[in-house]
Amino acid sequence: MVPSPAGQIVEEEWAETARRRSYLHLDAWVVMPNHFHGILFIDPPRLGDRGRPLGSIIGHFKGACTSRICAGGRRDFAWQDRFFDQIIRDEETLIRFRKYIFENPLRWEKDKHHPGRT
């Protein structure tokens, strides 16, 4: 899977999300032509820390991507309004989600939104 210019921005901003927040750690992730999957770990807050709401983190990520992509000429770019999140509570679930993410590009040809599908 070779990312488009918009996909490259998504990759850069995902990495930047963790660089700006020392309490975030990226795990498996993939940029697809029409969506994105990522696993991140959030350290528990320390005494005196402000909250670390996931919605705020993802909102900033999506906003930064949108600004850069639109500034590059893709004025039609838009994210889905919401995002799907799930807490990973055990190693088995983590392995299953990682496998899903790593194998996602292999399923792109069969995706209902693939431009080559009729």
Question: Looking at residue 35, what is its pLDDT?
Answer: 92
User: Is residue 18 assigned to a domain?
Assistant: yes
Separation of alpha carbons 46 and 40, rounded Å: 18
Question: Looking at residue 115, what is its pLDDT?
Answer: 83
- The residue range of the domain holding 74 is 5-110
- From the centroid of its chain, how far is CA 39? 8
For tokens 């209902």, name the residue.
112
User: Is residue 47 assigned to a domain?
Assistant: yes
User: Is residue 10 assigned to a domain?
Assistant: yes
User: Is residue 115 assigned to a domain?
Assistant: no
Burial zone of 74 (CB within 10 Å; 0-12 exposed, 13-18 middle, 19+ buried): middle
Number of domains in the chain: 1
User: Is residue 104 assigned to a domain?
Assistant: yes
Q: Which is higher by pLDDT, 69 or 80?
A: 69
Asked if 42 and 24 count as a contact pair (C-beta separation under 8 A), the reply is: yes
Indicate the pTM of the whole model.
0.89
Separation of alpha carbons 33 and 116, rounded Å: 13
